[in-house]
Structure 1
Amino acid sequence: MIGQSSRRPSLESILQDIQAKPCKLPLELLSDITDDFSDEREIGRGGFGVVYKGVLDNGDVVAVKKLVSMPGVNDQLFENEVYHLMMLKHRNIVRFLGYCFETQHVCIEHKGKQRFAEMSEKLICLEYLPNGSLERHISDESCGLDWHKRYKIIRGICSGLHYLHEEIQTNTPIIHLDLKPSNILLTNEMVPKIADFGLSRLFGEQQSRIYATTMGGSFGYMAPEYLHKRIITKKSDIFSLGVIVIEIITGRRDGPDSNGMSMLDFIANVLEKWRNRLEDLRCTTLEKDCQQIRICIELGLNCVQFDETKRPTAKEIINSLKMQDDSNLHVIDEEKLPADEVGVGDIELCICLYCISCTPSLYNLYHER
């Protein structure tokens, strides 16, 4: 179409220049690159919108998120997501390329008569992640992604969350509020990127908690204090992170309580399953991998503690994982140790695992699918 070719390179140049700022994009362009938002280009669908694959003239691919028409509700979600994405730039946050907010006058039939009505189109253009969401790659210990890929994903998610909570702006963290596998996208190299900031909240300076007037999020990943008391803190995201970490490692959101196991038996059971797989693969880093697995499962369990004050911060999590990566500790062979002798003190979070075994059943209460 006339005029489109002159606009098209602007999106291509934004995509190719990592330093380029997001910009307003014409609806005509986004419609054209998605083949008029055809079903064949659809790559994802949620409660608030549909995501399409957009193909540029040079063959580059982008993702175009089109919000469904829900006056009032989606206006707020759209503005919230654009506002937050504008300020975010991190390896583990999905890259924002541009937005479109256009109002058109269309002729519709109303009570037997033709009337003109306003129709607003709200779209967000993002980088395209070819491996889709983490949800597609969740599996138990016996199959699917190897441990190194899973650990890389865990590290990346933790890094992205640390950026939101501690690095984006001094004393003004962004709380995501809807962390879950379907909102974590993966590159070709399996680098995770946190996406979907429609429900996120920006805290004011020195603000540590707020009370939600409306609820949003996904059952199974919502912290109990948010679910029941509408309290939002950084620890709300930490709870969601813990559920995701457990799910990445085991393929399930079930914890010790759901399985009728003690804390130590649960950890030992997970380790045994992973050890069996690693031994079958003749893994040359068996003990190092088992050490990482144990630390990560302990981390996940620490994050889902009922008492929010006992959950680690994003900074503590990053420091702990970095300490583990940098260390050259000799890891003893646990193969012949009974379950009650499996070590649980290596993770440097200063949080007692005993506290978890004393809490109510989180998984039975909050993790229904």
Structure 2
Amino acid sequence: MAVGPSHLPLHILESMTENFSKDRILGSGSYGTVYLGEQEEGQKIALKILHDKTGHDDVQFEKEYYTLANLQHQNIVRLVGYCHETRREFLPYNETIVLAEVTKRALCFEFMENGSLSDYLFDFGLSRFFKEEKSHITNSPIGTLGYLPPEFINQNIISNKLDIFSLGVVIIRIMAGTEGYSKSAEMPPEQFTEIVHGNWRNRLQSAASGDLLESYSVQVKRCIEIALSCVVADRQKRPTIGAIVNMLSERETLENDQGELIDQMSTCVVNDTELIDVHPLQLHFSF
């Protein structure tokens, strides 16, 4: 029988993190700050201190805790303990600490040979976990609204396609800028693809020609198409992360020397009002 999460005294967590040293900070967001901790036997853990300003209360925390404690999946981090104490003089607010087990790459995505994720941490606020091929419904607001899909905004549904939607938003904003992203919802996908692709091609023509231009042009168009497929309203129609990797890996091989091209591209000037404001070579994916 597996041992469930337990209450951990604050002084133990302080010892694990060297009194919550700034050097131990892994990341910080609107919901809290995550620290790297290490137990005496060497096991690494992630500790999140929740900001009091988030408005969570004891009842909300208790519900969240039991939700996380009961959810198990091969691709999520395991909740191993919690601490709810008001003692720590150097912090001006009460705090809640959520402790999660961390594997060697638990705070990043790792692709296995089959293209799946071996380690997965979904962390908008508190980690939201869901079982394979199933979704999880939450009543608490999480994440940055502009990166969240319609099923979450309208129905509070979290599934494994939520991050796919967010990835699509990131790619579109890289490809077309913030203004361009807003325009993507105002026109058919084909029209948006042609506009963004055309802008990139015009910019590339000043630094490349022939086969090299065509190769980069193909990469640009493929990235746009992938991004648009990630942000479709129906989450079932969004691609899997494995499919996205495969599509990016199918790029044409660039046979020409790129060193000279990089120097030429650094001299390109783009007006801030244009759709695109990103160095084209940033679109070179090397999976």
TM-score under structure 1 length normalisation: 0.45
Match of 1:240 in 2: 166
Contact 1:26-1:100 within 8 A present in 2 as well: no
Residue 241 of structure 1 deviates from its aligned partner by 2.8
- Helix, strand or coil at the partner of 1:200: coil
For the pair 1:318 / 2:242, whether they are aligned, the reply is yes
Aligned position for 1:227:
153
Check whether the contact 2:49–2:98 (CA below 8 A) recurs between aligned residues: yes
Secondary structure in 2 aligned to 1:50? strand
The answer to whether residue 16 in structure 2 is matched with residue 33 in structure 1 is yes
Cα pair 2:37 2:45 within 8 Å, conserved: yes
- 1:272, distance to aligned residue in structure 2 (A): 3.0
Question: d(CA) in 2 for partners of 1:296 and 1:218?
Answer: 23
**Residues 1:291 and 2:215 aligned together:** no
User: Where do 1:94-173 residues align within 5 Å?
Assistant: 96=77, 99-102=80-83, 121-126=97-102, 163=117
1:31 offset after TM fit, Å?
Answer: 1.3
2:193 alignment partner in structure 1:
264
1:49 aligns with 2:49: no
Aligned partner of 2:227 among 275, 300, 312: 300
Aligned to 1:88: 74
Structure 1 runs not aligned, ≥5 long? 1-20, 109-118, 134-152, 169-191, 332-369
Letter in 1 for 2:30: G
Cα distance 1:210–1:34, how it changes in 2: closer, same or farther (>3 A)? closer
CA deviations over 1:197-218 (Å, ceiling 9, x no partner): 635353698x6x6765454342
Letter in 2 for 1:304: V
Matching residue's letter, 2:61: N
1:138-217 alignment, distance < 5 Å? 163=117, 194-196=121-123, 198=126, 200-202=128-130, 213-217=139-143
The residue number in structure 1 matching 2:60 is 73
The 1:253/1:297 distance shift into structure 2, 3 A limit, reads: farther
Cα displacement string for residues 31-63 of structure 1 (whole angstroms, at most 9, x for unaligned residues): 113221245644432233222244678999764
Q: CA deviation at 1:298?
A: 0.9
RMSD: 5.4
Tell me, in whole angstroms, the C-alpha distance in 2 between the residues paired with 1:88 and 1:40.
30
Q: What's the CA shift string for 1:73-100, capped at 9, x where partnerless?
A: 233444445555x5334xxx7xx48733
Structure 1 residues 81 and 246, CA gap change in structure 2 (3 angstroms) = farther
Letter in 2 for 1:202: F
Q: Distance between the aligned counterparts of 1:40 and 1:323, measured in 2?
A: 38
Contact 2:168 2:226 in 1 (8 A): yes
1:184 corresponds to: none
- Identity rate of aligned residues, in percent? 24
**What CA distance in whole angstroms lies between the structure 2 residues aligned with 1:195 and 1:327?**
29
Q: Please tell me whether the aligned partners of residues 14 and 20 of structure 2 are also in contact (alpha carbons under 8 angstroms).
A: yes
Q: Look up the SS of the partner of 2:19 in the other structure.
A: coil
Shift of 1:243: 0.9
- Partner Cα distance (1:313, 1:52) in 2: 33
Alignment partners' CA distance in 2, 1:120 and 1:230 = 24
The residue matched to 1:99 in structure 2 has which SS? strand
Q: For residue 44 of structure 1, what is the amino acid of its counterpart?
A: G
* 1:64 Cα deviation after fit: 3.0
CA deviation vs aligned residue, 1:265-311 (integer Å, no higher than 9, x gap): 4331463377469x48x9x97654543332122111122234x1684
* CA spacing shift, 1:290–1:194, aligned 2, 3 Å: farther
Structure 1 match to 2:278: none
**1:300–1:51 distance in 2 versus 1, CA, 3 Å:** same
Structure 2: runs of 5 or more not aligned: 90-94, 256-287
Q: Give TM-score, length-normalised by structure 2.
A: 0.55
Q: Read off the aligned partner of 1:305 and give its amino acid letter.
A: V
Whether the aligned pair in 2 keeps the contact of 1:223 and 1:240 (CA below 8 Å) is yes
Structure 1 residues 275 and 42: alpha-carbon distance in aligned structure 2, compared to 1, 3 A threshold = same
**Residues of 1 paired with 2:203 and 2:18: CA distance?**
45
CA contact (8 A) 1:41 1:53 kept: yes
